[in-house]
Structure 1
Amino acid sequence: MKVLITGGAGFIGSRLALRLAEEGHAVSVLDNFLPQVHGDRPEASPLYERLDSATRLIRGDVTDRAALAAALAGQEAVVHLAAETGTGQSMYEIERYSRVNIGGTSLLLDLLANSDHAVRRVVVASSRSIYGEGRYRAPTGEYVYPPHRSEADMAAGDFAVKHPGIEGELECVATDEDSKLHPSSVYGITKQVQEQLVMTVCPSLGIEGVALRYQNVFGPGQSLANPYTGILSIFANLIMQGRAINIFEDGRESRDFVYVDDVVEATVLALTRPAAANRVFNVGTGAPVSVLEVAETLCRLFDADVPIEISGNFRAGDIRHNHADLTRIRETLGFEPAWSFERGIAELVAWARASGPQASAYDASLAEMREKGLLK
């Protein structure tokens, strides 16, 4: 196939591009090489050289009509990964996140609706963030989808998830694709709109749409300098600098951490399998890991003795728990995650050691959120 990957020079996109090129597909990559993600001289990196030799590499923005139209010419499939990412940052850079995530997706679909093209399938990167809090089981046995936690409760150190009218502790269970969508951040809202645009417009154009709701992706190549890329790379960079790790809330909040190669495999299946057409799939491991366990595992693997400080801080837009139900993607596409959290994080640590600590805007990002009233 001739495949265009928007955001194809990023953490997930670059690995996907090289995988597809190795399998004989003609791959085009459109990426704006945002300095927050790629630094000031991305063309000097080995990754840039590999992409340049293996793909048709286009430096351009997904919100630029002319650039996107040129990149689409002759393509048979699109994997739409281009997006601004970061829950906290999205809460105060609202126009930027909406312009890129919603506007870029709208432009892509507008071009497909109003021009001659050969595109037969569009795979869009959605996110677990569209669920907000995940699915819970009440003491009565019924499933509920709790609303966002109150600031007053969290300020008092009560981080538990509650549901109106229900007494007793709620049990977090795996969230399936039919669960309620109620994102708690601007980022989550934009990802929900991206998904719904693709899954609504593509069938009307005779194009197959596929949406992949990625959980928390990690692995080698994840930016150590970008403070919005995920806690594993943030914590790894702090440890290598000998700095304390600030754990928000009580450290028991959990996420489903999925290794990047598993995400690439799921995306290849979504791109190539007929059964994926016009379906939505979770992509994760189905196994929750607490933030405190992440910090302790990283310290052990780095053999580092840095303070782990459970601060009780909390951010607007953060959820307590979420992990994926993989039944649909297993039964439909035969996907099975191959990487355990322990094995994947060992690879991340080995790569981070080789890369060394990076200058980061982490402290500045926290200060900015405090200034905006988003970090308590």
Structure 2
Amino acid sequence: MADTVLITGGAGFVGRHVARAMLEQGHKVRALDSLIEQVHSGGGRPDDLDPEVELIVGDIRDEDKVRQSLKGVDKVLHLAAEVGVGQSMYQIDRYTSVNEYGTAVLFQQLIDNPVKRVVVASSMSIYGEGLYETQDGELMQDVVRGPRNADGTWDPKDAQGRPLIPMITPETKQPALKSVYAINKYVQERLTLTLTAQYGMESCALRLWNIYGPGQALSNPYTGVLAIFASRISHGQQPMVFEDGQQRRDFVHVSDVSKAFLLAMDKPEANGEVFNIGSGVDRTVEDVARLQAASMGRSDIQPLITQQARAGDIRHNIPDLSKARDLLGYEATQDFSAGLEELAEWVARQESHDKVDEARRELEARGLVA
């Protein structure tokens, strides 16, 4: 059955891909987006936003625009958010206003304009460090590490000074909110699950890992790490890798994320649940930087390993995807090498401005890099 779906933040990177996938399924799609300069250079309607998408330009905090956007809507996909762990640590008011107050405005309007289901984009960042195990086999839920160990290493250690072993992180792991962005995403998630249940609507939250693919903002130094690396490499600059580069992440293609959102919109089993969404394969950030340079024909460009830590960053976080597989039927299918090649081809056709050094100076000036 076709629905009318509102995507908040629908002109953004993920929103545009999800909108296209929903249109292909026969749904009608409306997007509410403020088209901010940091994400949308020039501020106009993105060229790759499907022409069938009805775009309402407005802020998620504007109750009149939100009310207008909700007219005739069956389901809501809530993506609108300021995104960036590092920037969130010094633009606290901006991030909290858009992410938390914006979500509050949305739900204030949903009380009088209820929908069938709301799906909210949450984040891996709410976990803080992922789940670990000691060398004796004891699971560690609440690992906290300083910026660097006394011996110069980066991995968290147990009380005996032995490195902990990263494990896959299930949805049951307790949150450890280490950045303003993480706090914001957790609040968005909890508001969604709490208020929909109270007012007779369905909902679920997707905790997203590191998303990449064509269409990501290349001139935004706080966006996805692969877009940041791509912008640096395309300008002949070294991709900047914090710490020693051996931190592990799961990189998931935007097409797989789009599939997850479509499943979350429709599956009855999703109601009231949270799901990890990733690719199921973890890699070191240094390896990814090298692979990306090679995919762009610049194997001569080596990553710059800074040996510095950013406030809010975590060491390892690898998703357990079994719940998404069992309840949603979710399975990531995009090959990483093919995804990097696709991204490289897209980047070659784009113009971008490398603002990574500027962003780093902003963080250093506030003592957020050490």
For normalisation by structure 1, the TM-score amounts to 0.94
Mapped pair 1:214 → 2:215: no
Aligned match of 1:142 = 138
**Structure 1, residues 192-245: CA drift from partner, whole Å, max 9, x if none?**
111011111111111001100000100011111110112211111111111123
2:54 maps to what in 1?
56
Displacement after TM superposition at 1:41 (Å): 3.9
Cα distance in 2 between the residues matched to 1:99 and 1:148: 28
Q: Which residue of 110, 113, 116 maps to 1:112?
A: 110
Please point out which of 26, 39, 44 is paired with 2:41: 39
Post-superposition CA distance 1:32-86 (Å, at most 9, x none): 001100112423x4224x3xx2121100010111110110111111000000000
Matching residue of 1:271:
265
Matched, 1:202 2:200: no
Deviation (angstroms), 1:254: 1.4
Deviation at 1:144, TM superposition (A): 0.6
Whether 1:16 aligns to 2:22 is no
Letter paired with 1:308: P
Indicate which of 101, 117, 123 corresponds to 2:99.
101
> Structure 2 residue aligned with 1:27, among 21, 26, 29?
29
Q: Residues 148 and 184 of structure 1 are in contact (CA less than 8 Å); yes or no, is this contact kept in structure 2?
A: no
| Deviation for aligned residue 1:118 | 4.4
Once the two structures are superposed, the pairs formed by residues 348-359 of structure 1 within 5 Å of their partners are 348-356=343-351, 358-359=352-353
CA contact (8 A) 2:250 2:279 kept: yes
Which has the larger share of helix? 1
| Cα offsets for 1:156-207 (capped at 9, x unmatched) | 63311135x4552211011010011112111011101110111111111110
SS at match of 1:47: coil
Given residue 139 of structure 1, which amino acid in structure 2 is its aligned partner? Q
Alignment partner, residue 131 of structure 1: 127
Q: In the alignment, which residue of structure 2 is the partner of 1:92?
A: 90
Counterpart contact for 1:148–1:319, Cα < 8 Å: no
CA distance in 2, matches of 1:323, 1:316: 20
Matched, 1:158 2:158: no
- Partner SS, residue 79 of structure 1: strand
Q: Distance in 2 between matches of 1:198 and 1:9?
A: 21
Change (3 A) 1:41 1:103: closer
Contact kept, 8 Å, 2:280 with 2:332, in 1: the verdict is no
Which residue of the partner structure matches residue 178 of structure 2? 184
User: Which secondary structure state, in structure 2, belongs to the residue aligned with residue 99 of structure 1?
Assistant: helix
Counterpart Cα distance in 2 of 1:9 and 1:364: 26
3-state SS, counterpart of residue 275 of structure 2: strand
- Partner of 2:190, secondary structure, is helix
Given candidates 9, 16, 37, the residue that maps to 1:7 is: 9
| C-alpha distance 142-218 of structure 1, shift in aligned 2 (>3 A) | same
**Aligned partners of 2:269, 2:139: CA distance in 1, in Å?**
29
d(CA) in 2 for partners of 1:166, 1:190: 35
Q: Is the 8 A contact 1:219 1:344 kept in 2?
A: yes
Cα displacement (A) at 1:302: 1.7
Matched, 1:174 2:168: yes
Distance in 2, Cα, partners of 1:38 & 1:154: 40
For residues 112 and 246 of structure 1, what CA distance do their matches in structure 2 show? 42
Mapped to 1, the partners of 2:66 and 2:216 lie a distance apart of 25
Q: Distance in 1 between matches of 2:247 and 2:142?
A: 15
Structure 2 stretches of 5 or more lacking a match?
none
SS in 1 for 2:249: strand
The gaps in structure 1 that reach 5 residues or longer are: none
The one-letter code sitting in structure 1 at the alignment partner of 2:91 is E
Coordinate RMSD, CA, aligned: 1.5
Distance 2:279 2:187 in 1: 24
Cα deviation per residue 1:10-43 (whole Å; 9 max; x = unaligned)?
0000111121122211111000001100112423
Aligned length, in residue pairs? 367
Give the 3-state SS of the residue equivalent to 1:46 in structure 2. coil
Which letter maps to 1:352?
V
1:289 paired to 2:289: no
Equivalent residue for 2:339, pick from 322, 338, 344 = 344
Q: Which whole-Å CA distance do the structure 2 matches of 1:126 and 1:246 have between them?
A: 26
CA distance in 1 between counterparts of 2:43 and 2:106 reads: 28
- The range that moved more, 238-247 or 171-180, is 238-247
